[in-house]
Amino acid sequence: MKSLHIAGAIALLATFSSLSAHADVGKTREQVRQEYFQAVKSGDLIVGDTGLTLREQRPSQYPREQSLDGKSRAQVKFETAQAIRNGDTIDESSLTVREHYPQRFPAAAQDPGKTREQVKAELAQAIRTGDIVPSGDGGQRLNELFPQRNANAHATSGLAARRVSSSKNAEG
């Protein structure tokens, strides 16, 4: 029983010593006063019920804050001119000029996509592997419906190649 009391006393002692070691000292009165005067001087003090800072209420009494984007005036003018030229400026209806008057601007360059031969090669590959969905079969692919047919993909590849070449001859 005595050892239980000793263990409890040690636990309490460890708890209180750790609390005092981590106690927050806080700011002194002088530090708080200095922060207050600095906030008043810079205009960052919120005054009144509006939730606005002094700088926001009386902007003429405080110097402008420096811009942080780092762009020169020439860069900004160039970007603005480029946006006007491309129709990327927003008008009063929140649409870009390009969206309002698409006929005034050249069509945006689009990705050329795949060639006809590339599409045919992909179709032949899909037929060979059974990776196509026949119509009316509930969305399952041929290789899922008939796994035994597609076990030997090389046997069906000749059939797919003949179908593609015969359709090419019929078009040509």
Residue indicated by tokens 């409890």:
8
Model pLDDT for residues 4-41, shown as the tens digit of each residue: 445 454 654 555 555 555 555 688 999 999 998 888 88
What pLDDT, on the 0 to 100 scale, is given for residue 6? 55
Tokens of 104: 């005034």
The residue with greater pLDDT, 98 or 66, is 98
CB 82 within 8 A of CB 102: no
Residue 145 · residue 137 · CB < 8 Å: yes
Q: Which residues contact 128 (CB under 8 A, 6 or more apart)?
A: 153, 156, 157, 160
Average pLDDT score over residue span 58-82: 83
pLDDT of residue 163: 56
Which percentage of the chain shows pLDDT scores above 70? 69
The more confident residue out of 121 and 111 is: 121
Distance of CA 62 to the CA centre of its chain: 37
Render pLDDT for 105-120 as a digit per residue (tens, 0 to 9). 887 777 788 899 999 9
Instruction: Note the pLDDT tens digit of each residue in 131-146.
Output: 888 877 677 888 888 8
